[in-house]
Homo-oligomer: A and B are copies of this chain.
């Protein structure tokens, strides 16, 4: 492999001067600089990151510990956002994925391997919004938690603003004139669920509606991130036979919305025509395939990834947990019937 000394020989100068050119040092004669640049091109020289790392004592690498991020389809955007921002700051990403069945020692080993790479910082990303127990060693270097929170460490964390998203989604339906809105709530074992219910209620209160008068029905049970079962059929049967059936349904997640579309189709009802539907998450395979197009609150995965990396690199992450707003994807399904 061609080194800085080979370049120096070719450009007939000292290897130190070559180093200066590479690092953009101004105090180099333009003519010399040109000779050196030419030699670099001619020889196809590439700086050796290992040597640089040793001298400068920093790697310009950020570790990305992904807690099953690639398992759940849509959260991969966290990774994408982080990578975008890392690249914009001239950093590289070293990825280590931890699978569901992995124990605590596996995670510790992953951490250890990244430390051996002398990563300048560490992002720990979860597949879905939940609590995690982190290796305490993570506090040894600049670290940030994405899409999760930890009560055992004081690391800064970024999570989606579930409450606000629910509030905004509900406002959307209220603005269309709906006064009878049901919430098909997601898995009660998910941390997002109570927050989304709160947001739902907050919006109702704003509009002067008594929250307890609006039905909240659990439409998904099972293990979050694992095997889940949907109860949309029975929930809708219950709702539609009530004294005052809802004119709008807030679905706790896109999978529930998908089920709802099917139930409505079987009943000859059209979303956005006979019944307004708004959902959460914006899981592309679903939201991109449903017709009429689904109005959904998109999880800010990309944005969380970007922000997390930015905060990490700027070194000014606020301690504690920061909530990132969802973005609203307007489809046809929330329209008034």
Seen from chain A, the residues whose Cβ lies within 8 Å of a Cβ on chain B are 1, 46-54, 57, 59, 61, 64, 69-71, 73-74, 76-77, 79-80, 83-84, 87, 92-97, 99, 112-118, 228, 230, 254-255, 258-259, 261-262, 265-266, 268, 283-286, 288-291
B80 touches A46 (CB 8 A): no
A94 touches B93 (CB 8 A): yes
Q: Which of A50, A94, A255, A266 has the most CB of B within 10 A?
A: A50
> In the assembly, what is the distance between CA of A61 and CA of B59, in Å?
14
> In the assembly, what is the distance between CA of A99 and CA of B73, in Å?
17
Q: Which residue of B is nearest A50, CB measured?
A: B53
Copies of this chain held together in the complex: 2
> In the assembly, what is the distance between CA of A83 and CA of B97, in Å?
7
Cβ 8 A contact of A70, one of B79, B113, B228, B286: B79
Q: Can you identify 22 A-B contacts, CB atoms within 8 angstroms?
A: A1-B118, A49-B53, A49-B116, A49-B118, A50-B50, A50-B52, A50-B118, A70-B83, A71-B80, A73-B283, A76-B76, A79-B95, A83-B97, A87-B96, A92-B94, A93-B95, A93-B96, A254-B285, A262-B290, A265-B266, A266-B266, A266-B268
Nearest Cβ in chain B — how far from A109, in angstroms? 9
| Residues of B contacting A50 in the complex (Cβ-Cβ under 8 angstroms) | 49-54, 59, 118
> In the assembly, what is the distance between CA of A115 and CA of B49, in Å?
9
Cβ 8 A contact of A64, one of B1, B84, B95, B118: B95
Q: Which of A46, A73, A93, A258 has the most CB of B within 10 A?
A: A73
Q: Which residue of B is nearest A255, CB measured?
A: B289
| Residues of B contacting A71 in the complex (Cβ-Cβ under 8 angstroms) | 80
Q: Which residue of B is nearest A114, CB measured?
A: B92
| Residues of B contacting A77 in the complex (Cβ-Cβ under 8 angstroms) | 70
Q: Which residue of B is nearest A266, CB measured?
A: B265
> In the assembly, what is the distance between CA of A265 and CA of B266, in Å?
5
> In the assembly, what is the distance between CA of A284 and CA of B261, in Å?
18
Cβ 8 A contact of A76, one of B73, B87, B258: B73
| Residues of B contacting A1 in the complex (Cβ-Cβ under 8 angstroms) | 57, 118
> In the assembly, what is the distance between CA of A285 and CA of B297, in Å?
16
- With A95-B64, A95-B95: A48-B118 Cβ-Cβ less than 8 Å: yes
Identify 7 new A-B residue pairs, CB closer than 8 A, beyond the known A92-B96, A283-B285, A285-B286: A1-B118, A51-B54, A73-B285, A79-B97, A93-B96, A230-B289, A259-B291
Q: Which residue of B is nearest A140, CB measured?
A: B44
> In the assembly, what is the distance between CA of A114 and CA of B46, in Å?
10
> In the assembly, what is the distance between CA of A290 and CA of B228, in Å?
12
Nearest Cβ in chain B — how far from A88, in angstroms? 12
| Residues of B contacting A79 in the complex (Cβ-Cβ under 8 angstroms) | 70, 95, 97
> In the assembly, what is the distance between CA of A117 and CA of B114, in Å?
15
> In the assembly, what is the distance between CA of A258 and CA of B259, in Å?
10
Q: Which residue of B is nearest A71, CB measured?
A: B80
B70 touches A291 (CB 8 A): no
B94 touches A94 (CB 8 A): yes
Q: Which of A47, A61, A99, A258 has the most CB of B within 10 A?
A: A258
| Residues of B contacting A76 in the complex (Cβ-Cβ under 8 angstroms) | 69-70, 73, 76
> In the assembly, what is the distance between CA of A117 and CA of B59, in Å?
10
